[in-house]
Amino acid sequence: LKKTIGAAVVGRHLSSVEQTPSGPAPLYAQTLAREFNVLVPANEMKPKSVHPTAEEWNFAAADAMVAFAEQHGMAVHGHTLFWPQDRHTQEFLLAINDPAALQAQIVAQTRAMVRHFGGRVRVWDAVNEAVGRPGHVRRLLGGATGYEHVALAFRVARDELDKLGHRNVKLLYNDNNIERPSSDPKARVNLVYGMLKDFATRTPRVPVDGVGFQYHIGLGGATGAEWRETAQRLIDLGLTVSVTELDINLGRDEVKSPELLRAQRDKYFGIVQACMQLPACTGVTTWGFTDKHTWLKAFDPDGVGSDGPNPYPAPLLFDESYAKKPAYYGVLRALRLLSTPGPTG
Ligand code: 9MR
């Protein structure tokens, strides 16, 4: 039984140095390497970063992060091969109006990314945030069920990996706001389930290995127990589950009171505990690790197609000075459940 604990990383911070009482220190890189065993590039493996225009391919930033991970014994989780929302799709693709031509471009891009990283990326968010999103790519490639573009991306990525001999590289469907069960058939959690059930029962099945639950929430977000219920239905389809982008904000412009920090700790504990209790849960990744650098705090100058200003402070495990927060100890306590024998040994 081994689970991973990961963090999303902004590449350019890996070489940053902080002033500390005992002199300058690379706290970002040090903390990451000391505490986590999975690294996810927050932006550097997105199609918009890697292949911004029809002529350009930039793998350098992502390659440097893969090298950092390898030097520090961390696995790399790739994010993402296909993100079919218009604002996260390159202009040169949005300009294509012929379905066959668009499909050829997307297939070529997906194959090129998979080939470039090969077995150095252990798991991919192969498709990110597709369900329930309209847009150009879906309109042209969606097909009868509306999810043919998703199926295509999985088949192409799997085929390329198999050809390269990387049968162990896993492919996830990754999405947000799918943690809490809902009785509304149109809720995203149910649409995702429906799509994946359809994929799992086709012959040949669409090769999805697991589901990534982003888990961007506030203190009122889905509890670990609620998520376990959602996760179990997907596990019953033969899929793994992973928490891929966890952060827990304290509310808009909220002060970091001890009460709120304890509530945040307990929320983190419950979610990580749920993963520890599910054998099919591969691990938990937080979206960043220090409150100094979080997409939730402010307009994000590192962003690719940024989401704009988000004034929610303090969603992560380390504070702005890289000190461990109560949330850190909540996660640690949950991780220890794994190595502690239960009543049956
Ligand atoms: O943290 C990322 C931020 O730097 C980018 O501006 C933004 C758009 O590319 O994406 C953020 O990460 C998102 C991730 O790629 C997908 N799930 C939601 C994450 C937070 O917005």
Taking only the tens place, the pLDDT of each residue in 99-126 is 999 999 999 999 999 999 999 999 999 9
Joined tokens for residue 1: 């039984």
SS3 301: coil
Ligand 1: which atom is nearest the Cα of residue 8?
1
Residue type, 237: L
Q: Element (H or E) spanning 241, and its range?
A: strand 240-249
CA 116 to ligand 1 center in whole angstroms: 22
Q: Is the CB of 37 under 6 A from ligand 1?
A: no
Is-contact 244 125, C-beta < 8 A? yes
Q: Is the CB of 264 under 6 A from ligand 1?
A: no
Ligand 1: which atom is nearest the Cα of residue 306?
6
Hey, which residues are catalytic here?
Answer: 129, 245
- Helices 148-164 & 99-117 angle (0-180, nearest 10): 40
How many angstroms from the chain centroid is the CA of residue 294? 14
**Paired residues of 54 in beta bridges:** none
Ligand 1: which atom is nearest the Cα of residue 88?
9
Q: Whose CA is nearest to atom 20 of ligand 1?
A: 295
CA 69 to ligand 1 center in whole angstroms: 20
For 203, 257, 335, the CA distances from 328, given in Å and listed in that order, are 44, 16, 11
pLDDT score, position 149: 98
Pocket test for ligand 1, best of 88, 245, 307 (most atoms within 8 A of CB): 307
pTM: 0.95
Pocket test for ligand 1, best of 12, 40, 43, 46 (most atoms within 8 A of CB): 43
Q: Whose CA is nearest to atom 16 of ligand 1?
A: 128
Joined tokens for residue 111: 């194959």
> Which residue intervals of 96-223 are DSSP H helices?
99-117, 136-141, 148-164, 188-201
For 3, 48, 127, 211, 319, the CA distances from 6, given in Å and listed in that order, are 10, 23, 19, 16, 17
Ligand 1: which atom is nearest the Cα of residue 48?
9
Is-contact 3 276, C-beta < 8 A? yes
Pocket test for ligand 1, best of 9, 86, 216, 295 (most atoms within 8 A of CB): 295
pLDDT score, position 345: 41
Q: Is the CB of 303 under 6 A from ligand 1?
A: yes
Q: CA-to-CA distance for 196 and 42, rounded, in angstroms? A: 25
Q: Is the CB of 218 under 6 A from ligand 1?
A: no
Residue 214 — φ and ψ, nearest 5°?
-65, -50
Rg (CA), the chain: 20
Q: Is the CB of 44 under 6 A from ligand 1?
A: no
| Average pLDDT per block of 10 residues along the chain, 345 residues long | 92 96 96 98 98 98 98 98 97 98 98 98 98 96 94 98 98 98 98 98 98 97 98 98 96 80 97 97 98 80 56 88 97 88 53
CA 23 to ligand 1 center in whole angstroms: 33
Ligand 1: which atom is nearest the Cα of residue 302?
4
For 64, 70, 114, the CA distances from 119, given in Å and listed in that order, are 16, 12, 9
pLDDT score, position 9: 98
**Paired residues of 286 in beta bridges:** 7, 246
Q: Is the CB of 245 under 6 A from ligand 1?
A: yes
Ligand 1: which atom is nearest the Cα of residue 295?
1
Q: Is the CB of 302 under 6 A from ligand 1?
A: yes
CA 42 to ligand 1 center in whole angstroms: 7
User: 311 preceded by cis ω (within 30°)?
Assistant: no
Is-contact 11 61, C-beta < 8 A? yes
